[in-house]
Structure formats: C-alpha cells, structure tokens
Amino acid sequence: MSKTLLIFFLTQAIAISVVAKKIEGLIIYPNDSIRVTFNIPTNIYGTVPYFFELQKSIIYFDSYGKKKKIKPKDALEIQFALDNITYRMLSRKITFYTHNSVNSDLLDSVMFLKLEVDGYLRLFSFNNPDMGAQNRTGNYLFQKNDGELKWLNWFKPKKDLLEYMKDCDSAVVMIKQSNAFLGVDMVTLVEKYNSDCVKE
C-alpha cells in the first residue's frame, strides 16, 4: 500500500469517527445568556462530546436558524446536556509551561475548559491528543477562587499537589495515602478540599 493511500484511509477513519449532534444549550455572557442549538462533535455513537474541538470554538444555530460560531474569548461559559449528563465549559486563559510539551499554537490561549468540579477550588480537564490519554494528571488544571490556573508539575505531580493543597489537612492525608503509580482521584480530592477546608 502506498504512503498516499495509507494517509487517505487514516484521514477517512478519523473523519467518520467524529459526528456532529444538534443539542440545545446555553451561552452565558457577562450580562446576558441565550438559548441556542449547538452543533456538538461527538464520538461515532453520539454519546461522548469531542472536547478537544469544543475547547477552541463551537458552532451553534440561533433562534432564527442562522449558523454561527462562538469562541471562548466571546463568552463566559457554555452549557449543554448529552445522555442525561450536563456539561459546563468555562472560558479561561491558560499558559502552557515547557514541561507540558504541547503545540506552540496553544500557548497563552483562551479556551473553553470542561468543568469537572465547581466550588472555591475548581477542577478543569484539558484535552489534547498530543498529551496522550485523557484525564491523566497532566490533563487537569486547578483554580482557587478567581486566581490563576494551576498545572501540576509533570515530573513531580504528587509533591506539587501536596504544596498546592497544604492548607487542607484532610486533602494532604488523601494525597499521601494515594498510590504513587496510579495517582489520586482528582475529582474526589477536590470535592474533599471544598467540603472540608472551605469556609462559607
């Protein structure tokens, strides 16, 4: 098989593995919100959103059926539900450090990030094929209140996480008890931090 033919088949395989699904949702602006119909890219079964594409921009149809595109710099948040799961993606400016080894065109980008846990301490997930499997340690970002987003140091994630959450004893205990290879359940950890160590 020639190289050109191989590339063609690979391109076609990727194309058919992502399908678009029309889903009603919400765009939230600083002083307003509107109901729209999003054109959400999903897996071939239409059950899981393709978050990598959604991070950069989202196609939607307004109340007149006109096709438009919303970019992260133009809104605060977008919301939609798929298979009884509500997804929230918040607009955030993210800075990539050299140890994260991602594409240079993503540096200092404003993106829609998938919100995993809300609260004083927020947990976001970032999806990039160059970073390998989704939802591993390097794909998470943290944010305390309205502060800067926090990446964990890939080389010393556990040590970095302990330093970041040193103001919460129960979270520190959970991190220390976690398996060094498998890591800690980030969602459970952030929920614990918010429930045990954040004063109303």
Cα–Cα distances (Å) from 125 to 64, 101, 134, 136, in that order, read 33, 16, 8, 9
Residue type, 108: D
What is the arithmetic mean of pLDDT over 103-121?
81
**pLDDT of res. 15:** 46
**pLDDT of res. 153:** 79
What is the arithmetic mean of pLDDT over 23-39?
96
Binned at pLDDT 50, 70 and 90, residue 4 comes out as low
Between residues 106 and 189, the one the model is more confident about: 189
**pLDDT of res. 154:** 75
Those residues whose C-beta lies under 8 Å from the C-beta of residue 59, and which sit 6 or more positions away, are: 20, 38, 39, 67, 68, 69
Between residues 155 and 78, the one the model is more confident about: 78
Cα–Cα distances (Å) from 19 to 27, 44, 152, 154, in that order, read 22, 6, 33, 33
Is residue 111's pLDDT more than 70? yes
What is the arithmetic mean of pLDDT over 96-121?
72
Is residue 41's pLDDT more than 50? yes
